[in-house]
Amino acid sequence: MNSENLESIAIDFGASNTRLAHFKQNRISKLIEFATPERPEEFIAEFKQKVLAIELSNVVAVGVGACGYWDRNCILRQSLNLSNYVNYPLWTEVSEILQLPTLLKSDVELAAMGEAIHGEAEQNESLLYINMGTGFSGALYKDGEIFTTSYSPTLRLDFLVQPESISSENTSDEELEIDPEEKREKSITLLSTTLINLSFILSPQIISIGGGKVTDERWTNIIKPAIDKAMVYLKENLTYEIQIKKSQVKYPTIYGAHELVKRNLKKLALHS
C-alpha cells in the first residue's frame, strides 16, 4: 500500500480535550472533538459512541499522541493532570474496540513531527516544538526523527518552571496583589529566558510555539514580546540563524499521529 493513500485514525489525547481524526489520502476527512472525561471508564464509553461516525473498513492502524509519561506497554505511569488514568490499559481497550493496532507517542513529540512535516515541509534539520496548553512542554524533531532516548520518550520540559499567565489558570492570594503589568513583565522575562536557554542547549533552527493557550491575546501581550526579547540576545550571541514563531499547523499532534502510522506501515504489514 502507498503510504500517501492509506487511511488511519489519529488521536490527540489531552488533559482538557481529545481530538479524533479520520485520515484519507493524507488529509483529514472527519474530525471529532470532545472534553476528556475525568475517568478512563468514562473515556472508553464516550469513545465507543464517537467512533461510530467513522467508517473503519479501510483503516490500517491508530496513531495516538497522548499527554503524560507512557511506558513501552502504552500504560500511563506519570501525569500532572490525568492521575485517574495512571496504570489503566486505555489504549489496549481502544485497540480492542477498533480491532486495529495502536501506535503511541507523547502528544508533544508528534506535534513536533506534524509541525516539521506539514508546517515546514522538513526544510530544516531541526525544529523544537513548544506546547503551551494545560501543561508547558516541548520536543525536538531532528534529522527527520523525533529526539528520544531508551529511558524517556520526550524532552521532559513539562517540569520546567511555567511562565505565569500562559499555562496556569490558578492564581494565589499573593499573586492577586501583584500589579498586572508587573506580572506580565515577569512572564515575558521567564519565557524569553526559557527560549534562550533551549536555543543554546538544543540548537534548533526553528522554535515553533503552539497549544491551546496560545490565544491572540497571549501572543500579542506576552509571547511575541518574549520572542522579541529573546531574539535580541540570540542575534548577538548565537552562531547561526534561528527562527521563533507561531505554529503553522492547526492540529500538529493529529498530523504527527498520522505520520506515525505511515512510518510504521511496513512493520504493521508484517504483523497483519
Residues 22, 9 contacting (CB under 8 angstroms): yes
Length of the chain measured in residues: 272
Helix (H, G, I), strand (E, B) or coil at 11: strand
Residue whose C-alpha cell reads 489519529 in the numeric block: 10
Residue whose C-alpha cell reads 506501515 in the numeric block: 265
Residues 94, 82 contacting (CB under 8 angstroms): no
Q: How far is CA 252 from CA 11, 130, 142, 215, in A?
A: 11, 11, 16, 16
- Residue 11, C-beta contacts closer than 8 angstroms, at least 6 positions apart: 18, 19, 20, 21, 62, 63, 64, 65, 66, 94, 254, 257
Predicted pLDDT at 34: 97
- The percentage of the chain sitting over the pLDDT mark of 70, rounded to a whole number, equals 85
- DSSP states of 88-123: --HHHHHHHHHTS-EEEEEHHHHHHHHIIIIISTT-
- 170-197 pLDDT, tens digit per residue, is 555 555 567 889 989 999 998 999 999 9
Q: How far is CA 171 from CA 143, 168, 174, in A?
A: 41, 8, 8
- 57-112 pLDDT, tens digit per residue, is 999 999 999 998 888 899 999 888 899 999 999 999 999 999 999 999 999 999 99
Separation between Cα atoms, residue 169 and residue 135, nearest integer Å: 11
- 64-78 pLDDT, tens digit per residue, is 999 988 888 999 998
Mean pLDDT, rounded, of the chain: 88
pLDDT higher than threshold 90 for residue 167: no
20-46: average pLDDT? 96
